[in-house]
């Protein structure tokens, strides 16, 4: 495993436990081509896949058809303007207005471990877990050096890629596009899988045939977004959950992105991902560099299960960091759906007192505790405690909650500013805006211009002061609107195109600074629910609020799409009130608890007002969480059935690493009359072990459970759920 270089053939080969990624250099000019990505190969002698011995041949043999060569060759990192008419991975504009560029191979370096990306989140690993290849390419006419970074992991079937661009010339040029990964391969009649949605219905799976031309998913809302997710996969036509080829990319970035596949006239596919070029323009002065974010690439020949396992293993071991990386999270109760803005110290303590008796471990105070914030139309930016609501301030409230044996958490929205706020009246130029244009409000708020140092310093000083004022052990960091009116009062005209990216870098810097000063803090990111659920955020927070829609049935599709890529431990999931505040559905309290068990687990309701029958079930759910959370958090996840596909029931499984136990969750959405039992095939067990369902006497072999399965009887009623805990017999 690792990285090898065949100097004679000029071929680089990267190996993971079960896959190989191969690229090579051809012709005397040094064209860098993508050769192979797939099942692991013993050697690298597959350069014939570049088809350089076929017309139009390489330019040294047939220079009269150089343009035809450019338009056919499977480039590893393609440029534009010289004859390749497919989508380029990088675009520039020189001082003379020229846009053509061409990158040719110059050198390489193989490194143990993985270098960090300055100012950006990225996967990490030491010399025992990964090896990194740096390929150096150059455009000597422009004066541009591009370093392509590839890391192969020894404990996950993943290749990560990133790009650093340096101006080696004597005058500035402008980067107008810089993708982080691109490669070409033959078209095998793929399907394209993406995750789409909207507020309260994020990350629903969409699969459709890949046709000629460009097909993409993207966001230029300033965040990865509710609407489209920074993920794309190409699936073989007959690929299933368990079998077939999958090529997938996921972007470790929380801003604008584009993920796309292009089928060319010659039946090649170009798959690429990176920062969205819409309104992006980065000025590079001589000797300055631009670091593009990281893309995680996965190949699986075991269908979506194999892809999911690769992403989960990587993110659990090599992306999530900090105090709670491998730690059980406290069961929390959030007061938002319980009180909205109508609360005071007495109300919060009444919730905490009742919750503490039931085994709930943390009280989280949501929006409305600061400034004159009694509705969502004012006071963002005024991060000072409203002592009319909270006499004695945070210290008194937190001390009283701690006396109950509970931790305390707090909600903040640090990136925003309300027009009706003391901060805006003092600093109207601190909001992102185009001078002279009527600003677009969303939720009656604007976005702070975090490209400005004084704004970042103010925001961080307020965060730090609040966290130092009391024993606050959790922060829910929210962002409730997208970016519009892209303009900064501080940036010069030729750098206005940098604002989107500078904004994201500032968010990362703020969260990184906070976690370094408060390393034991549990941070949960949120953006109107799940609009910023991406790998970039997971680098700073081990969990993200999955969706503002906490209805148990709506959550089935949301959590299925999320768990397709991300570990269950990352998904913020709560038992919410009924009728549900988003869709008005009434579901059994038991079902709400079982669905929330597939995430971080907590409560979003007024525990003092729910029925005694439901309240009495909370200690049982608390015990359920403590019994199963280590397995849910650390085990391997498998999808057994999909409600999004069958529209009747949902089922997933988590298997312990040593394969001694498994937890199967079954949700019957709609009951049916006169219907036979369902046969359920388990996955991931040891075929030679014997298992039984906890509390039952029947013993099954692992191969029986996986190939013959078990029978599940219909349950009485709709929206029913049950857990099956298999233990080694």
Task: Return the axis-axis angle of helices 345-357 and 393-403, rounded to nearest 10°.
Answer: 20
Q: Residue 284, exposed/middle/buried by CB under 10 A (0-12, 13-18, 19+)?
A: buried
Q: Which of 84, 245, 367, 478 is catalytic?
A: 478
Determine the pLDDT at residue 688: 97
Q: How many angstroms separate the CA atoms of 559 and 573, rounded?
A: 9
Asked whether the beta carbons of 224 and 230 are under 8 A apart, the reply is yes
Determine the pLDDT at residue 497: 98
Determine the pLDDT at residue 675: 81
Residues 147-196: tens digit of each pLDDT: 999 999 999 999 999 999 999 999 999 999 999 999 999 999 999 999 99
Q: Which of 689, 650, 654, 647 is nearest to 667 (CA)?
A: 650
Q: Which of 548, 577, 614, 650 is catalytic?
A: 548
Active site residue 606: no
Q: How many residues does the chain have?
A: 729
Read off the tokens for 92.
């520039």
For the CA atoms of 714, 715, 717, 719, the dihedral, rounded to the nearest 10 degrees, stands at -100
Residues 519-551: tens digit of each pLDDT: 999 999 999 999 999 999 999 999 999 999 999
Determine the pLDDT at residue 674: 75
DSSP 414: T
Residues 303-317: tens digit of each pLDDT: 999 999 999 999 999
DSSP 376: T
* DSSP one-letter string for 447-486: EB-TTSHHHHHHHHHHHHHHHHTTT--EEEE---S---S-
Question: Could you tell me how far CA 240 lies from the centroid of its own chain?
Answer: 23
Helix (H, G, I), strand (E, B) or coil at 394: helix
> What mean pLDDT do residues 258-279 have?
97
Q: Which of 155, 112, 156 is nearest to 131 (CA)?
A: 112
Q: How many angstroms separate the CA atoms of 304 and 202, rounded?
A: 19
Read off the tokens for 349.
């303590």
Active site residue 485: no
Which residue blocks in 51-199 are alpha helix, DSSP H? 66-72
Q: How many angstroms separate the CA atoms of 604 and 614, rounded?
A: 13
Buried b (16+ CB within 10 A) or exposed e, 75-103: bbbbbbeebbebbbbbbbbbeeeeeebbb
Q: What is the mean pLDDT of the chain?
A: 97
Asked whether the predicted pLDDT for residue 673 surpasses 90, the reply is no
Domains of the chain, with CATH numbers? 2-318 (2.70.98.60), 332-633 (3.20.20.70), 643-728 (2.60.40.1180)
Asked whether the predicted pLDDT for residue 1 surpasses 70, the reply is no
Asked whether the predicted pLDDT for residue 253 surpasses 70, the reply is yes
Residues above pLDDT 90, as percent of the chain? 98
Buried b (16+ CB within 10 A) or exposed e, 211-227: eeeebbbbbbbbbbbbb
Residue indicated by tokens 């085994």: 359
Determine the pLDDT at residue 672: 86
């Amino acid at each position: 495993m690792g990285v090898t270089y065949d100097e004679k053939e000029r071929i680089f080969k990267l190996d993971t436990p079960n896959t190989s990624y191969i690229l090579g250099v051809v012709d005397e000019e040094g064209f860098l081509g993508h050769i192979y990505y797939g099942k692991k190969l013993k050697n690298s002698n597959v350069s014939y896949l570049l088809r350089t011995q076929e017309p139009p041949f390489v330019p040294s043999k047939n220079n009269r058809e150089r343009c035809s060569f450019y338009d056919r060759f499977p480039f590893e990192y393609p440029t534009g303007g010289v004859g390749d008419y497919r989508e380029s991975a990088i675009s520039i504009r020189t001082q003379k207005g020229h846009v053509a560029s061409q990158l040719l191979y110059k050198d390489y370096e193989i490194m143990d471990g993985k270098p960090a990306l300055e100012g950006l989140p990225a996967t990490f690993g030491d010399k025992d877990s990964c090896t990194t290849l740096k390929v150096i390419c150059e455009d000597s006419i422009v004066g541009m050096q591009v370093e392509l970074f590839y890391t192969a992991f020894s404990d996950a079937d993943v290749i990560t890629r990133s790009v650093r661009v340096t101006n080696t010339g004597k005058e500035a040029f402008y980067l107008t596009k810089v993708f982080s990964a691109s490669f070409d391969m033959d078209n095998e009649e793929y399907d394209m899988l993406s995750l789409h949605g909207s507020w309260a219905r994020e990350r629903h799976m969409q699969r459709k045939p890949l046709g000629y031309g460009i097909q993409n998913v993207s966001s230029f809302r300033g965040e990865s977004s509710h609407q489209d997710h920074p993920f794309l996969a190409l699936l073989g036509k007959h690929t299933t959950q368990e079998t077939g080829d999958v090529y997938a990319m996921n972007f470790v970035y929380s801003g604008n992105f584009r993920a796309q596949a292009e089928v060319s006239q010659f039946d090649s596919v170009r798959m690429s991902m990176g920062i969205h070029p819409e309104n992006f323009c980065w000025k590079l002065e001589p000797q300055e560099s631009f670091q593009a974010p990281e893309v995680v690439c996965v190949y699986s020949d075991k269908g979506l299960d194999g892809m999911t396992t690769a992403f989960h293993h990587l993110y659990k071991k090599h992306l999530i960091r900090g105090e709670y990386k491998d730690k059980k999270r406290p069961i929390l109760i959030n007061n938002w759906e319980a009180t909205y803005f109508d609360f005071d110290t007495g109300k919060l303590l009444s919730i905490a007192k009742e919750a503490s008796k039931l085994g709930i471990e943390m009280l989280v105070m949501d929006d409305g505790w600061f400034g004159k914030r009694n509705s969502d139309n004012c006071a963002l930016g005024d991060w000072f405690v409203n002592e009319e609501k909270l006499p004695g301030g945070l210290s008194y409230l937190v001390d009283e909650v701690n006396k109950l044996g509970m931790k305390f958490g707090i909600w903040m929205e640090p990136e925003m500013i309300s027009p009706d706020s003391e901060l805006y009246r003092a600093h109207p130029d601190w909001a992102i805006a185009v001078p002279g244009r009527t600003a677009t409000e969303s939720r009656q708020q604007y976005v702070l211009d975090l490209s400005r140092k004084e704004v970042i310093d103010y925001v961080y000083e307020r965060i730090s002061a609040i966290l130092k004022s009391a024993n606050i052990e959790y922060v829910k960091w929210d962002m409730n609107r997208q970016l519009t009116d892209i303009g900064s009062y501080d940036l010069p005209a030729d750098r206005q195109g940098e604002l989107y990216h500078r904004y994201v870098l500032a968010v990362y810097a703020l969260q990184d600074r906070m976690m370094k000063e408060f390393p034991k803090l549990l941070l949960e990111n949120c953006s109107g629910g799940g609009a910023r659920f991406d790998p970039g955020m997971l680098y700073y927070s081990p969990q993200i609020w999955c969706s503002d829609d906490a209805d148990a049935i709506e959550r089935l599709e949301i959590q299925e799409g999320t768990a397709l890529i991300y570990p269950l431990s990352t998904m913020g999931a709560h038992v919410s009130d009924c009728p549900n505040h988003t869709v008005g559905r009434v579901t059994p309290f038991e079902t709400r608890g079982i669905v929330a068990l597939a995430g971080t687990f907590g409560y979003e309701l007024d525990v003092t007002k729910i029925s005694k029958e439901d309240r009495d079930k909370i200690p049982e759910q608390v015990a359920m969480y403590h019994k199963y959370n280590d397995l849910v958090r650390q085990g391997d996840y498998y999808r057994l059935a999909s409600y999004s596909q069958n529209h009747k029931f949902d089922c997933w499984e988590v298997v312990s690493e040593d394969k001694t136990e498994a937890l199967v969750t079954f949700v019957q959405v709609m009951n049916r009359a006169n219907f036979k039992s369902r046969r359920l095939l388990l996955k991931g067990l040891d075929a030679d072990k014997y298992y039984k369902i906890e509390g039952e006497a029947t013993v099954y072999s692992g191969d029986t459970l996986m190939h013959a399965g078990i029978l599940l009887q219909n349950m009485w009623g709709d929206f029913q759920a049950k857990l099956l805990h298999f233990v080694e017999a």
